[in-house]
Structure 1
C-alpha cells in the first residue's frame, strides 16, 4: 500500500492541532501506549496521522525529538508502504475477518526485522467480526513490549466495550471550514466554488470528487437559477421551472436534499450580507447582486425562510413526495 502523498507533521497540525499536540507529548515523554483508538468523521486525517505517528516511532533522525525527518530509510519505506514492521489492515469486503487478525499475530510472533518495534493500524475497526474482535482482544491483553496498535473508526458506538477500554481514546474534530476551503483552493478548486463544497461535506476527498462531478455543477446552476426566477418572476413561473427543469434533475431523496442544502446556503448568504459577515459567504461571486434583495428583507424574515427550508429537509426524510414538498416550499418562501 503506497502512502506516497503522505502529509508532513506540520501539515497535519493544521488539520488536527489538539491530536498532534497529544502525540507530540507522548513522543517527547516516551510514554507510548500499547493501543490508541482514533475516532472521528470521515475526512479528518485519522489514517494520515496514524502513519505520521508510526514514522516518528521508526525514524532514525527525529526533528526536535518528535517529528519524522521524512528523509531516512525508515520514513521512506513507510511512505512507500513497504516497511516490514508496519502493518495496515482494512476490511476484506464488508468486514475484517478473524484470518486477517491471525495473520497479523503470526507476523508479530516473528522477530521484528529492523528493531524490536512493531506497529499496526486497523482501519474501520468497527467492521471486525466478533471472532476477529475476540482474537484482537487476546492480542491487546498480552502486548509485547514494543507493539503499538492504532484502531481507526468513524463509528465509536460500534466498538466493543472490552476493546474500547484497552485503548487510549483520541477524538478527531471535523476540519475547520476555512482550513478545508484553503486546502481545496490549493488543490486547484475554483475560489468561488470552494465554500459551497466545504459547506456540503467535511471531507477533502469527497469535496474534490464532488467538484469533478457534472451532476453537482449542474445542480448548483439550477439552484441559483431557481432563486433568480423566484426573485424576479411570478410564483407561477417558479412552479413551472420546477416542472420543466428541477424535477427531471433532482430525482432521488439524496439529490433533493443536496438541492435544499444549496438553496439554504443562499438564504444564509442573504443573512450574512445583512450582518456584514463576509467571511462566511458560500456564493461569494453573487453577494453584490444579492445585496439589494437582502436589504429588502428583515433578518427575521430571512431566519423564517431558513427554518422553512430546514423544515422541508426534515419532512423529506419522512417519505413526503419530493415534488410536492418543493412546490409547497416555493409558495411559502
Structure 2
C-alpha cells in the first residue's frame, strides 16, 4: 500500500480524497509525511516529517471523535481551514480519524466539501469499517481496503486476548489498544451492562450504586460504557426486527421503549462530556427507561 501511494505522490496523481478501510491513523500520517517530505518517502528525519509526527504542521489538520462522535462543528472548522490558503506549502491535508463515528450532520457537511473539493486539498478518511459512512460519501472518495492483518482484531489477537465478546467490541469500533488496556475488566463490563439493562427499575438502580460505581470509575471507562450501551440498543432493535443479534437480550422492548433507551444513552454521554455526575445520569436513565 505504501508503494502505491509513493508512486501516486511522485507522479503528482493523488486523488482529492481517500477512504482507508481497515486502517489506522498511522497510515494516514505516513501518507501525509510523504506528501510534504523533501524525499517524498516519509523519511521521518526532515523538519516536515517531524512536525507532522508531533502534530504541529500548520497545513495538516486532524479530526478525531469528540467523545464517541465526530460532530458537525468539527467538520465546519475543517471547512473554514480548507477555505484558506496553505500556510507553507501548496497543499492542505485533512485527516478524519474514525470516520464512521461522524454523526449525520457532520457527514452531510463533509459531503459538501467532497462534492466541490477546493484545489490543493487532500482528504484522508480513516475507518475500521465502511459501516455508518454515507454511501454518498463513499461514492465521492477512492476507497482502499487495507490488507486483512490490519483489521481491528486479527485471528491471532483473538486467540491471544481470549475475550468472550469480541463481536460486541468490533461492533463498538474499539481499538486494539482499548481492548488490550481493559482486557482484565471489559468482559465483566458487558455482563454488568447486559444484566442491569434486563432488570426492573429498583434492581437496576441498586446495580448502578454497586456494580457500576465499582466498574466505571474514570472518564474513559464511563465513555466506553455508553458505547457498549449503544451496541446493546442496536442489538435490541435487530431482535425487534427478527434478525440475529450479537447481544443476548431476553427482555422484549416496545418500539417506544427502544426510542427512550437510545435517548437515555445519549443523555448519559452528554453528562460525561459536560463533566456531569455519571451515576445520577444513570439513575435517571433507569427511572425513565420503562
Q: What TM-score do you get using the length of structure 2 for normalisation?
A: 0.55
Show the counterpart of 1:209: 181
Tell me: CA distance 1:315–1:132, structure 2 relative to 1, closer, same or farther (3 Å).
Answer: closer
Which of 185, 188, 191 is matched with 1:252 structurally? 191
- 1:27 maps onto 2:12 in alignment: no
Q: Deviation digits for residues 96-125 of structure 1, max 9, x if unmatched?
A: 222211211111222211012100111222
Paired position in structure 2 for 1:78: 52
Moved more, 137-146 or 195-204: 195-204
In structure 2, distance between residues paired with 1:77 and 1:109: 22
Q: 1:139 aligns with which of 113, 129, 135?
A: 113
Q: Which moved more, 1:94-103 or 1:52-61?
A: 94-103
Say whether residues 1:55 and 2:33 are aligned partners: yes
Contact 2:24-2:128 at 8 Å conserved across structures: no
Q: Deviations over 1:132-173 (max 9, x none)?
A: 222212211222221110112233131111111010001123
SS for the counterpart of 1:88 is: strand
Q: Does 1:110 align with 2:84?
A: yes
Q: Secondary structure at the match of 2:13?
A: coil
Contact persistence 2:83–2:118 (CA under 8 A):
no
What is the DSSP-based 3-state SS (H/G/I as helix, E as strand, rest coil) of the residue aligned with 2:149?
Answer: coil
* Deviation readout 1:250-286 (Å, 9 max, x if unpaired): 992899xxxxxxxxxxxxxxxxxxxxxxxxxxxxxxx
Shift in CA distance, 60/315, structure 1 to aligned 2, threshold 3 Å: closer
Contact between 2:6 and 2:34, CA under 8 Å: does it hold in 1? no
Normalised TM-score (structure 1): 0.49
Alignment of 1:38 with 2:20, yes or no, is yes
What stretches of structure 1 move > 4 A for 4+ residues in a row? 198-204
**SS of aligned partner of 2:125:** strand
In 2, Cα distance between equivalents of 1:143 and 1:113:
18
The 1:120/1:318 distance shift into structure 2, 3 A limit, reads: same
C-alpha spacing 1:206/1:29, structure 2 compared with 1 (3 Å): same
Aligned length: 193
CA RMSD of aligned residues (A): 3.7
Instruction: Please say which structure displays the higher CA radius of gyration.
Output: 1
Q: Secondary structure at the match of 1:113?
A: coil
Gaps of 5+ in 2: 195-244, 251-290
Determine the C-alpha separation between the residues in 1 that align with 2:190 and 2:104. 39
CA separation in 1, counterparts of 2:80 and 2:246?
53
1:160 corresponds to = 134
CA distance in 1, matches of 2:65, 2:91: 24
